[in-house]
Amino acid sequence: FPESFLSFLKANGLDPSIYIPRYVRLKPGVQQIESDINCKLDEVKWLPGFYSIPPHVHIARSKAYQQGMMYGIDAASGAAVSALGISPGDHVLDLCAAPGAKLCMMLDLLGDKGSATGVDVARHRLAACRTLLQKYGLGQRSRLFLADGTIFSVPPTTFKQWTSRRPYKERKQEAKARPEIIFYGQSSGVIGLKKKELGYDKVLVDAECTHDGSIKHIQKFEQWGWTTLERRVLDAERTDISLASLQLNLLRNGFRLLKEAGTLVYSTCSLTHAQNEDVVDQFLAENSSAELQEIETAKDWPCRSGRTPKTLRFDPATSATSGLFVAKIRKL
């Protein structure tokens, strides 16, 4: 690592030599697959369905992976989904969904009731998300939209039904800005909701960030070049101003799409305060109907408190995961 990044890690209390395992989540009902992947699965005691595996194991070649029995997802990312408290029948929105592992976990938790809507601004990443949903047989109750998450506005109703109720002039204007439907599962639209009930029960805003807490992402700079890391991760102006503004707007829109008494989780895989606590603090200051909540399931999680009370931080040294910030917000 370059000296600038080592200084960054030191400022955040992180040891760059920490050993980080990889994590997988097994599909519900899947039993032993150790003989197939030729390694021992170590159960993650604090997060149901998750297991750690050695970094050198290539799961992509295994039958278990190819047949959709498991998928790779960091345990910290799984914790962010778990914090939502998803129940069967919920209608869930993942506002920055690609490449799709968290959306798959949401659909696993929903079972055969409810729906999950994924939104992303990158077409190629959303295409990868669609492939995951189809691979794991999770397409029936899911839908994907190519759209800007800061202005996305489709509620959890059947798409045609929602648009057909509006006056022609409004529908014509809406058509120009309508998000592109990339995938629409047969049972993913909700029929019969009254307008006052419109909104998602649970919203995840796993916002675009500098990814400086992601070990896997940082390792890519060995090929991309460390000067690129200086520009894309350590550039204070980008981190503190333009990116934080995007994150705040994603959080605002996610909260707008949340129904009353619904739950939103804001997360990033950045270690900086500017992209985490500062964003949440500013959002709470401007929204009297937003209440920061304790994450009840976190009592056994290997994480530490964020600078803002009730927020949590995962990091390699504390959690043996990639870095992740998590905040849970309820709409009063």
The pLDDT tens digits of the residues spanning 272-326 come to 898 999 999 999 999 999 999 999 999 999 999 999 999 999 988 889 898 899 9
pLDDT band at 58 (very low <50, low <70, confident <90, very high): confident
Q: Is the pLDDT of residue 237 over 90?
A: no
Q: Which segments of 136-239 does DSSP mark as H helices, in order?
A: 159-164, 168-177, 215-219, 221-224, 226-232, 236-237
Q: What is the mean pLDDT of the segment spanning 232-243?
A: 61
User: Given 96, 104, 209, 269, which residue is catalytic?
Assistant: 269
pLDDT band at 12 (very low <50, low <70, confident <90, very high): low
Joined together, the tokens standing for residue 85 give 């408290």
Does the annotation flag 278 for ligand binding? no
Which residue range(s) make up the domain with 299?
1-18+74-331
* Residue 285 parent element (H or E): helix 277-286
Count of CB atoms situated within 10 Å of the CB of 208: 18
Task: Answer with the one of 49, 73, 97 that is the final residue of a domain.
Answer: 73
Confidence at residue 57, expressed as pLDDT on a 0 to 100 scale: 80
- Report percent pLDDT > 90 for the chain: 51
Asked if residue 47 and residue 6 are part of one domain, the reply reads: no
Q: What is the maximum alpha-carbon separation in the chain? A: 61
Asked if 289 and 331 touch (Cβ cutoff 8 Å), the reply is yes
> Is residue 269 annotated as a catalytic residue, yes or no?
yes
CB crowding 261-286: b at 16 or more within 10 Å, else e? ebbbbbbbbbbbbbbbbbbbeebbee
Helix (H, G, I), strand (E, B) or coil at 166: coil
User: Amino acid identity, residue 231?
Assistant: R
List the strands of the sheet with 22-26, edge to edge: 42-43, 50-53, 22-26, 70-72
pLDDT tens track for 100-129: 999 999 999 998 899 999 999 999 999 999
Asked if residue 23 and residue 132 are part of one domain, the reply reads: no
Long-range contacts of 193-199 (CB under 8 A, 24+ apart): 193/155, 193/156, 193/157, 197/259, 198/155, 198/156, 198/157, 198/259, 199/155, 199/156, 199/257, 199/258, 199/259, 199/260, 199/262
Confidence at residue 19, expressed as pLDDT on a 0 to 100 scale: 46
Q: What is the pTM of this model?
A: 0.83
Asked if residue 61 and residue 203 are part of one domain, the reply reads: no
Q: What is the mean pLDDT of the chain?
A: 84
Task: Determine the Cα–Cα distance for residues 154 and 232; give it in Å rounded to an integer.
Answer: 32
Asked if residue 120 and residue 59 are part of one domain, the reply reads: no
pLDDT tens track for 210-234: 877 666 655 655 555 656 656 655 5
Does the annotation flag 240 for ligand binding? no
Asked if residue 266 and residue 140 are part of one domain, the reply reads: yes
Count of CB atoms situated within 10 Å of the CB of 67: 14
Task: Determine the Cα–Cα distance for residues 280 and 73; give it in Å rounded to an integer.
Answer: 25
Any idea what the CATH number is for the domain that residue 156 is in? Answer: 3.40.50.150
Does the annotation flag 281 for ligand binding? no
Asked if residue 154 and residue 65 are part of one domain, the reply reads: no
Give 87-155 as a DSSP string.
Answer: -TT-EEEETT-TT-HHHHHHHHHHTTSSEEEEEES-HHHHHHHHHHHHHTT--TTEEEEES-TTT----
Task: Answer with the one of 55, 73, 91 that is the final residue of a domain.
Answer: 73
Asked if residue 224 and residue 120 are part of one domain, the reply reads: yes
pLDDT band at 201 (very low <50, low <70, confident <90, very high): very high
Task: Determine the Cα–Cα distance for residues 113 and 307; give it in Å rounded to an integer.
Answer: 37
Asked if residue 57 and residue 93 are part of one domain, the reply reads: no
Asked if residue 237 and residue 106 are part of one domain, the reply reads: yes
Confidence at residue 162, expressed as pLDDT on a 0 to 100 scale: 42
Beta partners for 21? none
Which of 198, 225, 221 is closest to 211 using CA atoms?
221
Asked if residue 181 and residue 55 are part of one domain, the reply reads: no
Q: How many domains does the chain have?
A: 2
Q: What is the mean pLDDT of the segment spanning 262-275?
A: 93
Asked if residue 323 and residue 306 are part of one domain, the reply reads: yes
Asked if residue 196 and residue 143 are part of one domain, the reply reads: yes
Task: Determine the Cα–Cα distance for residues 241 and 250; give it in Å rounded to an integer.
Answer: 14
pLDDT band at 166 (very low <50, low <70, confident <90, very high): low
Any idea what the CATH number is for the domain that residue 67 is in? Answer: 3.30.70
